[in-house]
């Protein structure tokens, strides 16, 4: 979809539809909505008086203009209560509006920058949210479908602004929004791919394509190199699969003398649970156990396009976790790259094992601070559902920066505790640490396990087990992969710059 910014009067634009916003409880129409209402002889006002249009968040009312305007339809979108307006609300309204128009068969439409007027939001930020919401909300994954789509896709979104001096800011916002949303959609594509189309090797190839397209340095370590470096935890997980593991490193050099920000992502391209095999029901969703790694690769491409003056390194350990005659077993002991030994209690607690070696690698390379993302624990889903990502840290100052970035990006994130008492559950009788501390506080003990390998490097762990996938449409989220936390990673790099 092309998004263009132009100056003019939206009431004079000839297109399939024009979109205007309305606050809940507004006593009267204002701005573009008022102008369109006058042209329609008060049709919108009458619908408000009748109670059909209330302005509730993402409420959509389609009004046919019947030749009274150059555009065939007016879509009135509820913005919710004025005091609740936020960038994320604007993203959601944009996504819902685009899908409503697609269902109506509209292929071209125009809108104004909602929130940039009486909403009090800066024009650039409003335009970025509009672009992000539209691109994210219209996402579909059809690569393996042969039947034709139910609806035509929207080809053009025209952002119309009366004040010419605002055009530059709107264009900048649209550009940033497009880059950010397309990165999240790339992560969605990777997560939605079946595991036979997204093996560790194919994940590495996707990273190479990103590197070549956007000028990133890339290194992909093979099994032999991992063995030389002592990555026993990652190789232990990988030994049950015929697919060779890959250790992917992407580097963006934006300048400055500070150590690079490290983005780490779990890259389990399929997780059967290994010998501790998962139930068959729902196992098909385990193709998405590499969502953290996908977010890292996609975010690195966006960061390279946005070019913040900061250095960033993305690290993705990629493998499958399968049961076989060569698979690692409960009771085995593995030696991590950093030298710490790990007793395997469950082979289904594999994500923390591959991240342990990734954390050791990052620390050895002098990368700091570190933030990892992983579909790590069902316990986090129990605690926070699919609304919030769980966040854990050994450095509150750094976590505050991550939480701020997540808030700006609209990816809800909530801190959980890391009290030292939880470490007791990970104590092993035969090794330095065991890879699971039992059912109680499972998300926290998993984070405590990772903390053993982050050591004193400022580090944040994001457990995206609940937020990496959605079962329904809402706002700019569609069913399937969400792309979380790609946009948080991008915003964090911009903020640190």
Burial bucket for residue 257 (CB in 10 Å: 0-12, 13-18, 19+): exposed
DSSP bridge pairs for 60 = 77
For the question of residue 352 being annotated catalytic, the response is yes
- Are 159 and 19 a contacting pair, CB within 8 Å? no
Task: Name the β-bridge partners of 111.
Answer: 19, 159
**Measured distance between the N- and C-terminal CA atoms of the chain, rounded to whole angstroms:** 30
**Residue 242 in contact with residue 328, Cβ under 8 Å?**
no
Q: Among positive and negative, which fits the CA dihedral 352, 356, 361, 362?
A: positive
The catalytically annotated residue of 352, 434, 469, 487 is 352
Best CA proximity match to 181, nearest among 411, 492, 487, 496? 487
Which pairing describes strands 217-221 and 333-335: parallel, antiparallel, or unpaired? Answer: unpaired
E-assigned strands of 404-477? 413-415, 433-434, 459-463, 469-470
Residue whose token pair is 């966040």: 391
Residue 315 to residue 267: CA distance in whole angstroms: 10
Q: How far apart are CA 260 and CA 258, in angstroms?
A: 6
Q: What is the widest separation between alpha-carbon atoms in the chain?
A: 80
Q: Give the Cα separation of 330 and 432 in Å (integer).
A: 16
Closest CA to 354 of 329, 341, 337, 371: 337
- Do 389 and 464 contact (CB within 8 A), yes or no? yes
340 tagged catalytic: no
Options 54, 278, 307, 404, the catalytic residue: 278
Which residues form the catalytic set?
278, 352
């Amino acid at each position: 979809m092309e998004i263009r910014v132009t100056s003019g009067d939206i009431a004079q634009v000839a297109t399939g539809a024009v979109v205007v916003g309305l606050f809940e409880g507004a006593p009267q129409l204002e701005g573009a909505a008022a102008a369109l209402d006058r042209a329609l002889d008060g049709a919108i006002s009458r619908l408000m008086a009748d109670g059909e249009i209330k302005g509730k968040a993402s409420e959509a009312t389609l009004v046919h203009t019947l030749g009274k305007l150059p555009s065939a339809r007016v879509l009135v979108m509820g913005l919710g209560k004025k005091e609740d307006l936020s960038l994320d609300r604007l993203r959601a309204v944009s996504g819902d509006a685009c899908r409503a128009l697609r269902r109506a068969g509209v292929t071209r439409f125009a809108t104004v920058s909602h929130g940039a007027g009486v909403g009090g939001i800066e024009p650039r930020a409003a335009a970025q949210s509009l672009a992000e919401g539209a691109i994210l909300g219209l996402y579909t994954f059809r690569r393996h479908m042969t039947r034709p789509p139910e609806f035509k896709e929207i080809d053009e979104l025209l952002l119309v602004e009366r004040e010419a001096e605002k055009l530059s800011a709107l264009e900048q916002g649209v550009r940033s929004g497009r880059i950010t949303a397309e990165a999240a959609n790339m992560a969605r594509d990777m997560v939605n791919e079946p595991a036979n189309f997204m093996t560790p090797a194919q994940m590495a190839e996707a990273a190479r394509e990103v590197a070549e397209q956007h000028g990133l340095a890339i290194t992909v370590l093979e099994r032999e190199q991992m063995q030389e470096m002592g990555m026993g935890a990652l190789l232990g997980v990988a030994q049950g699969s015929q697919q060779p593991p890959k250790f992917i490193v992407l580097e963006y050099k934006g300048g400055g003398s500070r150590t690079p920000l490290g983005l780490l992502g779990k890259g389990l391209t399929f997780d059967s649970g290994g010998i501790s095999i998962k139930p068959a029901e729902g196992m098909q969703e385990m193709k998405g156990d590499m969502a953290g790694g996908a977010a890292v690769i996609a975010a690195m491409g966006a960061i390279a396009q946005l070019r913040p003056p900061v250095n960033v390194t993305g690290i993705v350990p990629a493998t499958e976790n399968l049961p076989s005659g060569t698979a690692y077993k409960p009771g085995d002991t593995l030696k991590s790259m950093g030298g710490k030994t790990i007793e395997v209690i469950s082979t289904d607690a594999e994500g923390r094992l591959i991240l342990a070696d990734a954390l050791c690698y990052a620390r050895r390379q002098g990368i700091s601070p570190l933030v990892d993302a992983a579909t790590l624990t069902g316990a986090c889903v129990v605690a926070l559902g699919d609304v919030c990502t769980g966040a854990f840290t050994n450095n509150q100052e750094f976590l505050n920066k991550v939480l701020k970035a997540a808030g700006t990006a609209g990816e809800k994130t909530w801190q959980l505790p890391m009290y030292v008492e939880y470490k007791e559950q990970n104590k092993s009788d035969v090794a330095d640490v065991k890879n699971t501390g039992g059912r109680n506080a499972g998300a926290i003990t998993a984070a405590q396990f990772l903390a053993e390998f982050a050591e004193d490097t400022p580090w944040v762990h994001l457990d995206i087990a609940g937020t990496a996938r959605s079962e329904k449409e809402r706002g700019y989220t569609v069913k399937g992969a969400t792309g979380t936390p790609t946009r948080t990673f991008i915003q964090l790099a911009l903020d640190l710059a």
